[in-house]
Amino acid sequence: MNRFYWGLASSAFQTEGYIQNDMTEWEALGGFRQDGKNPIYRHGAAHWQRWQQDFKLLQKIGVNAYRFSMEWARIQPEFDCFDHKALDQYERMLDRLLGLKIEPFLTLHHFTHPAWFHAQTPWVSDKAQETFCRYADVLLERFGDRINYWITFNEPLVWALAAYGDAKFPPGKNNLNDMMLVVKNILQTHSCLYRRIKSALPLAQVGMAKHFIIFAPRRKWLAADRKLADLLHSFFNEMVPRAFKSNRLKFRFPFLFSFDEPVALNNQVDFWGVNYYYRMLAAIRMNFRRPIGFDFKNISGEGLTDMGWEIYSEGLLRILKQVAAYGKDIYITENGIATTDDARRIRFMDAHIQKTLKAEQMGVPVRGYFYWSFLDNYEWLEGNSKRFGLVHVDYRQDFARSLKPSAAHYARLIQIDTTKRKSLELKKF
């Protein structure tokens, strides 16, 4: 059968709760208290305690794949200490997924680190690769026989921008050259992970989840804004995939930074994970400290999400066609909407899934779609105030769960598509 993965996505820290890591330490130090916001973690969605109930909901929705991560700080709370009880629970979780015939897509790094990491082996240092590959080796040895799909890093450029570009995430630095060095070191670590996983599991698929944005000029009539939108597209959407083919991480952003260093990648990636959410308008500003302005307008007519992002479903088709040029399989590893209006969520899903299937019909090698997110969860700088999930989490009532109408809608879409694919397969014989 023409196998297509219909899934849901999450990350460990955003859902699990009951953990201490660099993010909770940053929160305690007041690091998130910026721009009038003060997000509080409050145990995410308490998934660490409620995973068995949650997996029953996955089964009810009818997905055949689940993208998730394991919390590094929980597994390696100290540099020389690995928590075998945590590994035991993750093993039970993996086995339950497989028992439900749900394919696990494991993300090795999804933004968070143990509290000791930034002081001892930060991403600007040569020690970071060895540290992270050592941790990944533990997961590979313990779980390798049960995982076919590995996502080494989630949105490495987004994390580097937040942690080293504008000090939103720990370690809270503001140095663009260091930011680029971090990206280089993360890409080198991906290469290390790729080789180790493929050596142990030659048939495994190893990829990276990359955030893609549609950039447009705020003022189409202004050449500077048009040039800026093109520059941002080249930097944010193309720089990292290009590095895999050229073996160089290279970019010059006028008046901000210039970086050009070799990075031995040799196109070692089996698939690209596409994380897509919105179109963003960019404008040159007469402000020396912040010369670039970003905003969102409802140009598409599809509306703005509760995050303030413009919904632009056509952008997903554009991105998929662009990523297809890199010659690798594609999985939409994140696509979702923050809203309390579930009718809007259903419209969002319909529009983006339609574009996904259209891309597939056009020959784009898209192999799966993962809605973000499975559960309402902790949304980084927004805390738990923004709801992306197909499952409602009642934070005031001990994290009680309930399926939203959009979950049933997604289940129907999966069933219809799966039946159609089976029918097409039978017609071949």
Burial (CB count within 10 angstroms: exposed 0-12, middle 13-18, buried 19+), residue 355: buried
Per-residue pLDDT, 239? 98
Domain membership of residue 284 (yes or no) is no
Distance CA 376, CA 397 (A): 14
Task: Report yes or no: 365 and 382 within 8 Å, Cβ to Cβ.
Answer: no
What residues have CB less than 8 Å from 172, skipping those under 6 apart? 26, 31, 163
Domain membership of residue 365 (yes or no) is yes
Distance CA 16, CA 71 (A): 8
Each residue's pLDDT tens digit, 371-390: 999 999 999 999 999 999 99
Per-residue pLDDT, 2? 64
Domain membership of residue 354 (yes or no) is yes
Q: Give first-to-last CA distance, the chain, whole Å.
A: 12
CATH number at residue 199: 3.20.20.80
| pLDDT less than 70: residues of the chain | 1-2, 428-429
Number of other residues whose CB lies within 10 A of the CB of residue 41: 19
Distance CA 332, CA 269 (A): 15
Domain membership of residue 239 (yes or no) is no
Task: Report yes or no: 35 and 72 within 8 Å, Cβ to Cβ.
Answer: no
Sign of CA dihedral 296, 301, 304, 309: negative
Domain membership of residue 289 (yes or no) is no
Give the HSE-up count for residue 398: Cα atoms under 13 Å, Cβ half-sphere. Answer: 2
The domain of 360 spans 5-214+267-277+308-426
Task: Report yes or no: 54 and 401 within 8 Å, Cβ to Cβ.
Answer: yes
Flag whether the pTM goes above 0.85: yes
Domain membership of residue 230 (yes or no) is no
Using DSSP's 3-state secondary structure scheme, residue 66 falls into strand
Each residue's pLDDT tens digit, 203-229: 999 999 999 999 999 999 999 999 999
Distance CA 360, CA 320 (A): 9
Using DSSP's 3-state secondary structure scheme, residue 311 falls into coil
Q: In 295-404, which residue ranges form alpha helices assigned H by DSSP?
A: 314-324, 342-361
Domain membership of residue 248 (yes or no) is no
Domain membership of residue 89 (yes or no) is yes
Number of other residues whose CB lies within 10 A of the CB of residue 184: 20
Per-residue pLDDT, 255? 85
Q: In 147-204, which residue ranges form alpha helices assigned H by DSSP?
A: 156-160, 176-200
Say which DSSP state 162 is in: I
What residues have CB less than 8 Å from 398, skipping those under 6 apart? 46
Per-residue pLDDT, 1? 47
Distance CA 338, CA 304 (A): 10
Distance CA 273, CA 270 (A): 10
Pairing state between β 5-9 and 205-217: unpaired
Distance CA 241, CA 246 (A): 9
Distance CA 192, CA 107 (A): 15
Burial (CB count within 10 angstroms: exposed 0-12, middle 13-18, buried 19+), residue 252: exposed
Per-residue pLDDT, 429? 61
- Domains in the chain: how many in total? 1
Using DSSP's 3-state secondary structure scheme, residue 67 falls into strand
Residue whose C-alpha is closest to residue 383's, from 20, 36, 125, 82:
36
Token pair for 310: 């413009």
Q: Which amino acid is at 109?
A: H
Token pair for 3: 């196998």
Burial (CB count within 10 angstroms: exposed 0-12, middle 13-18, buried 19+), residue 426: exposed
